[in-house]
């Protein structure tokens, strides 16, 4: 009889999604983890040569190792995500910083955000044109401003007052991005990170499109989470469009009580669903684990609105999830056991 | 024995916050509701003359009646929130549209957002300087743009292409806002909607501060929710600061599955907590009712970070919540029974 009662009680509680036992804080001592992305897209695998793939893998690896070194030596998650994103911003392969795409007017408008999961502090910048590393400006906004989101010339004035490195327009010029803009203007289309022009003879062929944006999430040895995202947005973007990357809760979010998330993809879907915050909310309010929450939001809600993209996410136990709805997402991670993974397409 | 089992099962389920029975869709047929706010703040009641209070009440009443007329005649929630916010934007009493506060540079940077809870569509503008009714531009962005958030000159170019009414800087000049800017510059302080200057002889007196922003949430006869928010932001704001109002999920959110929310207050706290989306998340994931979710977020999370402000919220059963952490919030509502309420300070 007592056994029967216990069984029923157990079943009832289990049905209510009670939290599953988690690794204790003690077990996490000295552990750290990191994940990065360099954009997602409907990438046709064959369109990238082996050499090009190797270049992306090498760049992702360099970024990961930079963040790992900071975490390994006891540095903070905030330091790790900023330094890692800076490496990706400085690499012309990615649509952020140096490799940012062109707007319709032939300029660059860069967005970035950073969030410290230990205290909810965050900083973000939108549409800055002359900042070498927008993620470092976002961090300065977090630490030195009473505001969270600064934009345009005002954000650049703040940068100047705080010694943030600027860069002139020439720094951001890359020939392949310029070509992409000309193609996009010719097609009168707002493009993602890059799209291979359809061949006139084969208009139904799958179009390679890659949503730029780079991002990093990290867990440090003190159990603190942080997230950072940086992007050049959409090629040929107009009208002062701001995407999800600099918007806290949409493209970037961190909260020690749940997870750190950085998104990549067609930003509008991530904004309307508040993707990053929704993943956190499912963990906090439904007791979902990280993978369940990510699957529910990315493979559930996002897919149901035909949203294209994905995210990297990390919880305070070092679990890593990297779900996406596209055929590929450039990504990498080092888990708490030191296991490194770098992938461009779907898992084999 | 069977009774005992049932009792235990019931207790276990109750502990899991199962949904409480709700009014059925059928009972809501032909019902509508609306709520508005005109800013919150640490208002010292005696600082407003009876005449001034009456002016605010009259303006709130006019706005409410505009929205109600649309809902009563079967109009959509989106139409109702846009039209209602336009009335508040056109009134120089409120910090939005005509009555917007000045930036540090003596300009106006207006933010607005609108969201349709029936389909998740949304539109927003930030830092527009020459748009008479930013909420109508936000709606045009929602309906005619592939983007969600446009800013600055780009947003104004979009407005021009779509026949949105512009206004020159002189339209937004109001003497009391200009004085507030001079006071704020003198104090070297970023101010809210308005602050009465401390008297030199009485520096410890409570300072009257009012966070501007206007907003509206509505439920139409088809059971659809919508939310709209518009603001001039902070007096003496600098560096291209963007607040929570135009950020979907922070200051503005609507989702038929949960609620419509419009916030007012010191925007940064609303951004870091994703206040509007968090209220929705608590309803969707914890089965909280509207009041529980609002109390938990505004009187719980927001208060715990010393966040100042509040929100108006409405669910698809027409329940209305208007919580705030400040001593006052200018607000009004008409519930599904036609009961109208307008209040400036705490409930009596």
> What CATH number has the domain bearing residue B96?
3.60.20.30
Choose the closest CB to B146 out of A4, A190, A274: A190
Which positions 233-272 of A are in contact with B (Cβ < 8 Å)? 237-243, 247-250, 253, 267-268, 271-272
Question: Is residue B117 included in any domain, yes or no?
Answer: yes
> Is there a contact between B268 and A158 if contact means CB atoms under 8 Å apart?
no
Question: Is residue A224 included in any domain, yes or no?
Answer: yes
pLDDT in tens, B177-235: 888 888 887 776 665 555 444 433 334 434 556 777 999 999 999 999 999 999 998 88
Question: What is the distance in angstroms between the Cα of A342 and the nearest Cα belonging to chain B?
Answer: 31
Marked catalytic residue, from B66, B84, B213, B264: B213
> Is there a contact between A277 and B149 if contact means CB atoms under 8 Å apart?
no
Per-residue pLDDT at A236: 81
Q: Are B93 and B87 in contact (CB under 8 A)?
A: no
Question: What is the distance in angstroms between the Cα of A149 and the nearest Cα belonging to chain B?
Answer: 5
Kindly give the confidence (pLDDT) of every residue in chain A, 348 residues in length, as a single tens digit, with 9 standing for 90 and above: 454 444 444 444 444 444 444 455 667 888 999 999 999 987 766 578 899 899 999 999 999 999 999 999 999 999 999 999 999 999 999 999 998 888 888 888 999 999 999 999 999 999 999 999 999 999 999 999 999 999 999 999 999 999 999 999 889 888 888 888 888 877 766 655 554 444 333 334 345 567 779 999 999 999 999 999 999 988 888 899 999 999 999 999 999 999 999 999 999 999 999 999 999 999 999 999 999 999 999 999 999 999 999 999 999 999 999 999 998 999 999 999 999 999 998 765
Cα separation of B271 and B202, whole Å?
34
Structural domain including A332 reads 32-200+209-345
Question: Is residue B17 included in any domain, yes or no?
Answer: no
Instruction: Name the residue with tokens 């707002």.
Output: A190
Burial class of residue A19 in the structure, from the number of CB atoms within 10 Å of its CB (0-12 exposed, 13-18 middle, 19+ buried)? exposed
Longest dimension (CA), chain B: 79
Task: Select the more confidently predicted residue: A203 or B23.
Answer: B23
**Which ranges constitute the DSSP H helices of chain B?**
2-15, 50-72, 77-90, 134-144, 152-161, 175-187, 267-272, 275-286, 290-294, 303-304
Choose the closest CB to B274 out of A154, A237, A277: A277
Chain B residues whose CB is inside 8 A of the A267 CB are: 148
Question: Is residue B24 included in any domain, yes or no?
Answer: no
Burial class of residue B214 in the structure, from the number of CB atoms within 10 Å of its CB (0-12 exposed, 13-18 middle, 19+ buried)? buried
Question: Is residue B13 included in any domain, yes or no?
Answer: no
Region of poorest pLDDT, from A32-41, B19-28, B325-334: B19-28
Give which of A234, A239, A269 to mutate to test B binding, by max B Cβ within 10 Å: A239
Question: Is residue A300 included in any domain, yes or no?
Answer: yes
* Residue B213 appears among annotated catalytic residues: yes
Q: State how many domains chain A has.
A: 1
pLDDT in tens, A44-78: 665 788 998 999 999 999 999 999 999 999 999 99
Question: Is residue A155 included in any domain, yes or no?
Answer: yes
Chain B residues whose CB is inside 8 A of the A303 CB are: none
Instruction: Name the residue with tokens 């505004």.
Output: B298
Kind and range of the H or E run holding A60? helix A50-72
Chain A residues whose CB is inside 8 A of the B16 CB are: 12-13, 15-16, 18
Is any Cβ of chain B less than 8 angstroms from the Cβ of A106?
no
């Amino acid at each position: 009889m007592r056994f029967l009662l216990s069984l029923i009680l157990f079943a009832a509680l289990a049905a209510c999604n009670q939290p599953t036992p988690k690794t204790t804080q003690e077990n996490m001592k000295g552990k750290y983890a990191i994940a990065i992305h360099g954009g997602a897209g409907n990438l046709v695998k064959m369109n990238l040569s082996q050499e090009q793939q190797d270049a992306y893998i090498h760049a992702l690896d360099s970024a990961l190792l930079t963040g790992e070194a900071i975490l390994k030596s006891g540095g903070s998650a905030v330091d790790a995500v900023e330094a890692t994103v800076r490496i990706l911003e400085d690499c012309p392969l990615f649509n952020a910083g140096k490799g940012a795409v062109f707007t319709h007017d032939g300029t660059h408008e860069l967005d970035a955000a950073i969030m410290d999961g230990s205290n909810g502090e965050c900083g973000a910048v939108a549409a800055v044109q002359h900042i070498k590393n927008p993620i470092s400006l976002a961090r300065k906004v977090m630490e030195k401003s009473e505001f969270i989101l600064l934009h345009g010339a005002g954000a650049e004035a703040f940068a100047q007052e705080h010694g943030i490195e600027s860069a002139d327009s020439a720094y951001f010029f890359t020939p392949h991005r310029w070509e992409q803009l000309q193609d996009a203007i010719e097609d009168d289309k707002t493009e993602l990170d890059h799209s291979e022009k359809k061949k006139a003879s084969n208009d139904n062929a799958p179009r390679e499109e890659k949503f730029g944006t780079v991002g990093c999430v990290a867990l440090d040895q003190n159990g603190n989470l942080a997230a950072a995202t940086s992007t050049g947005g959409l090629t040929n973007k107009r009208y002062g469009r701001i995407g999800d990357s600099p918007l806290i809760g949409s493209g970037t979010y961190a909260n020690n009580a749940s997870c750190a998330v950085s998104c990549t993809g067609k930003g509008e879907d991530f904004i309307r669903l508040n993707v990053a915050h929704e993943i956190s909310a499912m963990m906090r309010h439904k007791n979902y684990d990280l993978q369940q929450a990510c699957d529910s939001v990315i493979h559930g809600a996002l897919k149901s609105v035909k949203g294209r993209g994905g995210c990297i996410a990390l919880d305070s136990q070092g679990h890593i999830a990297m779900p996406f709805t596209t055929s590929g997402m450039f990504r990498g991670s080092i888990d708490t056991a030191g296991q490194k993974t770098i992938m461009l397409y779907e898992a084999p």
